[in-house]
A and B are shown apart, each in its own frame.
Chain A
Amino acid sequence: MNSSLFIFFDSIRWQDLVDIGLNSYILFRLYVLLRGTRMFRILIGILFLWFLQKIADSQGLIVTSWAMQAITAVSALIIIVVFSHEIRNLFRTRDFVALLWGFPKKNDLTPVEVITDSIFKMASRHCGALLVFPGRNDLSDILKSGIATDSIISREIIQSIFWQGNPVHDGAVIIENNRITHVASILPLSDRTDLPKFYGTRHRAAKGLAESTDAMVVLVSEEKGNIMVAKGMNLEEIGNPAELKKHLKLQGVHDGGKGNGFAVMHLKTMMAALMCVIFVTGIWYGVTRGISHTLISLEAPIEYINRDPEMNIIDTTIDVVRLRLSGSDVLVNSIKPDQVRVKVDMAAAKVGYNSFVIENENIILPPGINLSKIDPRIVEMNIDAPKQKIFPIQPDWTGILKEDLILASIKIYPKELRLKGNTRVLYGISTVYTEKLDLNSIKKSGEIIVKPVIPAGVSLDPKSNAHQIKIVYIVNKRDVEEAE
């Protein structure tokens, strides 16, 4: 067990750590930038669908897998279309540094100090008020009765809402985070009969909501100018701002100070970062190591590097090498032919027969793929290099000489020429012939200028002066006496 664990950790490359770290950070950044948005929740949903699809696939649920795959693909498309505005804003409103670093300043923390201060000011002026701080219960029925708004909390806004001349001053305000989301909300009145007689409608409304939900209601009595907090079955009078802050804190209302709320927020962020690392590590492990280990065999062509341009490979014993590769199912199945390369260094190659051993270092594989076998390991090749060789020149006569004439002798200038080419090609040549020379027009001795016919695969040495050849020929009268 220990040894297998050691082998596992030993097999982790620095590239893997970078891979995990980079992708974890990207995921974490996406979380930071998108948290609290609808898009983030939908992304989580798509991720969940993807997991379901993988599970269905592994369990052989063909239709389910297919359906999940289709839904995931369509969802990804929809998210781009539907949230195109949000995505555009994300990249438009934030600079590059903000995308990669830092946290968006979210002013959604409730300004407890402002609320407390406003409440006590209203109390001092006997200005009646009802403020609802929702818990986890759904308050949608109550919210329907109010007027939706989206005001950032401030002393002035709170006090002006509950100013007696304001048409909405009689209802309750709903406070969520740093905003007043509804005003003039009508709260359900308490049915209790044991309440003190001096409790007015505002008290009964506060009690009614607090008794039926987990919301906390802060009320300011218009008559007595006192502050009371209704939570559950209790209705408690508040004597000082610290007491009110304590109640707000118990309700989960925090202002982002260095208190518990701040710590919770950072703890959440840290947890999110840790989850990103765990999630990406899981994906990395699944992809690179995988549950199933696959072994494949494929043929890869040999690439010859550092070849002297002057050298030509005449023939080789092999052109491809069969490689046996292993790795996780995902990685092995995603190998493309151009990702596997066999390179043979020809820096030390010499003219003639050469033998190269193909080592593991000569094989380039995609990350995460292991090499099990190379077959064959030796490649032999015959290498040739251009050489120069001198050849005699011979005229290629054609046609018919007059019957009474005989072409007795010739002299060629130059007698020979120098050709450049591969050894093997030069080896097959012994004479360089001229272009066809017509005998029909020859009546007497003379000379003629012709061009050599250079055989295929070789070239005339640039320094050679045999581009044109002069042939001086001697024509004699034929001896017509009978030979022996």
Chain B
Amino acid sequence: MHTEKIYLTALCFLVFGATILMADSDPDKKGQVPLEPAPEVKLTLKEASTCEDLKNSKPWNQAVVFSLKNRKVTCYCSFDPVPEKTFIQHRWFHKDRLNARRKLILKPPRWSTFSTIQMRENDKGPWRVEIMGPDGKVFQTLRFSITD
């Protein structure tokens, strides 16, 4: 009889303890503190420049003035982090007039990309390149001139 009481008491403790444990593991229970959401990772422009060309996937001869003799101008940009596969645009303006638009793909976790325009005789003058995100936000505007 005494032994039965001991077994019964132990069983009650077991049931009680299991109930508490089950309550702890259920996040939907009232009075429980939710977990902190993970910080949002934003697409971030790490580096941008205009250059004569790329060398080892890095800008070569970064400059703000380009001679027609070089024949081309490259706009290099590097994003870190890239949270998801997305795209950006390089919008090339000659004297405030949109001259060219290049759509460039970005992939996680980081990505470097570039676009190039060929220079012609009547391209001389002030230029700018807008690096624009998918939502239309301009990350940076790079300004340069094309001269003789």
Q: List residues of A whose CB falls within 8 A of some B CB.
A: 392, 394-401, 406-410, 429-431, 433, 439, 478-479, 481, 483-484
Contacts and interface: CB of A to CB of B under 8 A. Distances in A.
A27 B59 CA distance: 101
A423 B97 CA distance: 19
Main secondary structure of the interface of B (DSSP, over half): strand
Contacts of A396: 125-126, 145
A409 B148 contact: no
B65 A407 contact: yes
A279 to B, nearest CB: 76
A431 B126 contact: yes
A394 B55 contact: no
B30 to A, nearest CB: 54
B62 A408 contact: yes
A479 B60 contact: yes
A205 B121 CA distance: 129
Nearest to A438: B147
B26 interface: no
Interface of B: 52-57, 60-65, 67, 93, 96, 124-126, 128, 141, 143, 145, 147-148
A392 B141 CA distance: 10
Given A399-B147, A399-B148, A430-B96, A409 B64 contact: yes
Contact of B56 (A398, A399, A401, A484): A484
A397 B61 contact: no
B55 A400 contact: no
Contacts of B125: 396
A478 B52 CA distance: 10
Contacts of A481: 55
B128 A431 contact: yes
Most chain A CB atoms below 10 A, which of B52, B54, B61: B61
B91 to A, nearest CB: 12
B147 A397 contact: yes
A397 B145 contact: yes
A483 B145 CA distance: 21
A483 B59 CA distance: 9
Most chain B CB atoms below 10 A, which of A394, A400, A429, A433: A394
A394 B63 CA distance: 14
Contacts of B56: 484
A418 B125 CA distance: 23
Contact of A410 (B53, B62, B64): B64
Contact of A397 (B54, B57, B65): B65
Contact of B61 (A394, A395, A400, A479): A479
A442 B69 CA distance: 18
Contact of B54 (A400, A430, A483): A483
Contacts of B148: 398-400
B145 A408 contact: no
A171 B61 CA distance: 140
Contacts of B63: 406-408
